[in-house]
Amino acid sequence: MEDAELAGGTAWRLPVVPKPLYNVVKPFAGASGFYAGSWLGYLTRQATADLPVVRPSIAHARDAFHDELVLAGLRILGSADRRAFARVEREVQAALDHYGEAGWLDRPEGFFTPPPPLTEVTARTVKTYPHTHERVSFDSGYEPHASAPGRDRWLSYTANNQAHAWLLRHDEPRPWLVCVHGALMGRPMIDLRLFQAERLHKDFGLNVILPVLPLHGPRRHNLPNSTRFPGEDALDNVHSTAHAVWDIRRLLSWIRSQDPESPIGFSGISLGGYITSLVASIDDGLTCAILGVPAIDLVDLLERHGGLGRGDVRWPTIALARRLGRMVSPLALTPRVPHEGRFIYAGLADRIVHPREQVIRLWEHWGRPEISWYPGGHTGFRSPPVRQFLDQALLRSGLVHDPPTPVMQGPCRA
């Protein structure tokens, strides 16, 4: 169960209650416990060099409650029955044997197979108020490793075979920014707005491309709600991660064939920050990687937020799956993006991606790059301080060389 802290504090635990009552009670109890624990942490602790402590406010409690509501929705949408979890348990044990024999549990860089270059894409212009963008699609070509547990089930998700991306580009060569969305995103009107893609395209002069992750948007057609990324199915999470890295690396090969001399940077939010950190640890030649509220271990997130009570029979399976989570964690890889191109921003009141257990560990592993802490929750990354940090990251990394030039027709609504 999560501790209730604002950059540190006292653990607050919920009593064991039956579902679905748990999903009703948890947001209120979690947010109120967080607020009370934050005050205790604020009064008894000093700020540390790695994680500041700020005075709690009602806004922090509101942000925590918002995050708790998101978590409750994810639990309701992604919950699987016990029969499915029995199958997950069998697959986890088989996967440990399979990947262990291949040596990838100890040397995970070999798990991420280099994809072939992408040469054929379909692009069509879509005009939707208030944006005009291109919709790019291509055959993914990804398949899990032969004999990998869960392979046949993954290949049955046929909508995943077609990769998609939203694109805003200029007629002449420009730097590229790849924006990787978070969970429950993957639709143009959401992605373009949350990343402020129009502003990045017009004010900074960037080519902006937003790939759709597996099991998101049009790639989850005809799938049940319980089939999600991330979700309770450990092997689906492993295959989703490998599939996402594969598709984005193929997309990078296509970008480089379009503009061989143009620099390429990344910006990822939450789940997208996780995928971005992996790509930046596998692919060479990236100018920057900006990680927003990034996750680093999906098994840890399931353990923390899965709503498993004490004595739940699924605990042993989660304990086994931790090795799989580490295999596909950026902590098991060495970042290849230059140190001056690494940036992280995160929320001190984040109830989804724990500041210390997730973000600080990645920050340390990445050599303590520039990091910006904002006082809000996981979903508060649209605040003005974060926007200013993003602008400065693009400049300091060298992806762009001039401050943004606002267009004359008024503020962007992306």
Quick one: pLDDT at residue 7? Answer: 40
Give the pLDDT confidence of 250-277 residue by residue, as tens digits.
999 999 999 999 999 999 999 999 999 9
Quick one: pLDDT at residue 85? Answer: 75
Distance from the Cα of residue 387 to its chain's centroid: 18
Give the pLDDT confidence of 14-29 residue by residue, as tens digits.
344 445 545 445 544 5
* pLDDT-derived band at 330, boundaries 50, 70, 90: very high
- The percent of residues above 90 in pLDDT, for the chain, comes to 60
If one compares 379 and 292, the residue with the highest pLDDT of the two is: 292
If one compares 33 and 236, the residue with the highest pLDDT of the two is: 236
**Are 3 and 33 spatial neighbours (Cβ–Cβ below 8 Å)?**
no
**Are 4 and 65 spatial neighbours (Cβ–Cβ below 8 Å)?**
no
Quick one: pLDDT at residue 207? Answer: 97
The residue with tokens 């602008």 is 391
Q: What Cα–Cα distance (Å) separates residue 74 from each residue in 62, 226, 231, 359? A: 19, 9, 8, 21
Helix (H, G, I), strand (E, B) or coil at 39: helix
The residue with tokens 């984005």 is 248
Q: Indicate the pTM of the whole model.
A: 0.83
* pLDDT-derived band at 9, boundaries 50, 70, 90: very low
Quick one: pLDDT at residue 215? Answer: 97
If one compares 76 and 299, the residue with the highest pLDDT of the two is: 299
Give the pLDDT confidence of 208-232 residue by residue, as tens digits.
999 999 999 999 998 988 899 998 8
Quick one: pLDDT at residue 219? Answer: 96
Quick one: pLDDT at residue 148? Answer: 95
Quick one: pLDDT at residue 414? Answer: 35
Helix (H, G, I), strand (E, B) or coil at 269: strand
Instruction: List CB contacts of 237: < 8 A, sequence separation 6 or more.
Output: 229, 230, 231, 298, 299, 328
* pLDDT-derived band at 96, boundaries 50, 70, 90: very high
Listing DSSP states for 178-198 in one string gives EEE--TT---HHHHHHHTTHH
Half-sphere exposure of 202 (CA within 13 A, CB side): 17
Give the pLDDT confidence of 117-132 residue by residue, as tens digits.
999 999 999 987 667 8
If one compares 155 and 414, the residue with the highest pLDDT of the two is: 155
If one compares 131 and 236, the residue with the highest pLDDT of the two is: 236
User: What's the CATH architecture for 91-397?
Assistant: 3-Layer(aba) Sandwich (3.40)
Both structure tokens of 55: 């005075």
Both structure tokens of 368: 């303590």
Both structure tokens of 174: 């420009």
Quick one: pLDDT at residue 39? Answer: 47
Dist CA 154 CA 156 (whole Å): 5
**Are 4 and 34 spatial neighbours (Cβ–Cβ below 8 Å)?**
yes
Dist CA 365 CA 98 (whole Å): 28
Quick one: pLDDT at residue 274? Answer: 97
Compute φ and ψ for 41, nearest 5 degrees: -65, -40
Quick one: pLDDT at residue 57? Answer: 62
Q: What's the longest Cα–Cα distance across the chain?
A: 61
Among the listed ranges 71-85, 228-242, 305-319, 349-363, which one has the minimum average pLDDT value?
A: 71-85
- Quick one: which of 168, 164, 180 has its CA closest to 221? 164
Dist CA 330 CA 338 (whole Å): 15
